[in-house]
Amino acid sequence: MEYLCLDLEGVLIPEIWSEVAKHTGEEKFNLTTQDIKDYSELMDMRMELVNSMNLSMSDLNNLVDKMEPFEGAKEFLDWARDNFQVTIVSDSFYELAWPLIRKLGTPNMVCHHLEIDQDKLKGYKLRQNENKKKVIHTLQSLKYKVFASGDSYNDIQMLKEADFGVFFQAPKHIRDEFPDIGSVESHQELKEALIKRSNFVQITR
C-alpha cells in the first residue's frame, strides 16, 4: 500500500498562531513558515511574544478548542485513510494542536513537543532536525511509495523527497520559487491528483 504524508496547518486546519494574533492583536503572530524559512527563528519569536504577553498554555488551548478544521478536511482525510496509510507530518506541537486533531478523527501525527511548567510555556523541543525529510526517507526505506502535500517553506524537503509531492494552496511567491513542484487548490483537486498517481483500486465513501 502507498503512503500519504500531509502537513497540518494550511492543509487540514487554519494556522493556529493566526488565531492567537486575532485574540491578542499582535500582528507578528501572523507570520508563518510561508514568511520565515528558518523554523527555529520563527518559534523563538513566538515564544518571546507568548512570554512577554503572559499567555498561558490554558489561554492557547482555549483558543484552539474554538477552532474548526477547514471545510471538507475531515471528509478528505476519511477518504485518504481508507485508501492510503496516512500520517500528518507537522511542525506544530502535540500539546497545541490536539483539540483539532481530535476533530479530524485522531489521525496518526508526527510533530514536536512544547515544554510546559505550571501552565507556562518554557520552550519547545523539536523531534529531530529535518524531521519531515527524514520521515519520508524512513517510509521509503520500508518500501512504501510516498505521496506528500504541504503549503510552506518547511514542506519543501518533504515534497521534493516524496515520490510525488504537491503544494496545497501555497502562496504565489513560494510556487514561483519552486516551479518544479505542482500545486492544487482544493481537497478535491488533491484527491484527484492522488488517484491519478495511485496504483490500487480506490475505495469510495
Predicted structure pTM score: 0.89
Q: Which of 9, 91, 155, 161 is catalytic?
A: 9
- Residue 131 pLDDT: 86
Q: Give me the CATH code for the 3-15+67-197 domain, please.
A: 3.40.50.1000
9 included as an active-site residue? yes
pLDDT of 44 over the 80 cut: yes
Active site residue 7: yes
Would you place residue 203 in the very low, low, confident or very high pLDDT band (cuts 50, 70, 90)? low
Which position among 7, 15, 91, 155 bears the catalytic label? Answer: 7
DSSP string, the chain: --EEEE-SBTTTB--HHHHHHHHH--GGGG--TTT-S-HHHHHHHHHHHHHHTT--HHHHHHHHHT--PPTTHHHHHHHHHHHSEEEEEEEEEHHHHHHHHHHTT---EEEEEEEEETTEEEEEE-SSTTHHHHHHHHHHHTT--EEEEE-SGGGHHHHHHSSEEEEES--HHHHHH-TTSEEESSHHHHHHHHHHH--SPPP--
pLDDT digits (tens, 9 = 90+) for 74-91: 999 999 999 999 999 998
Q: What integer best gives the mean pLDDT of the chain?
A: 92
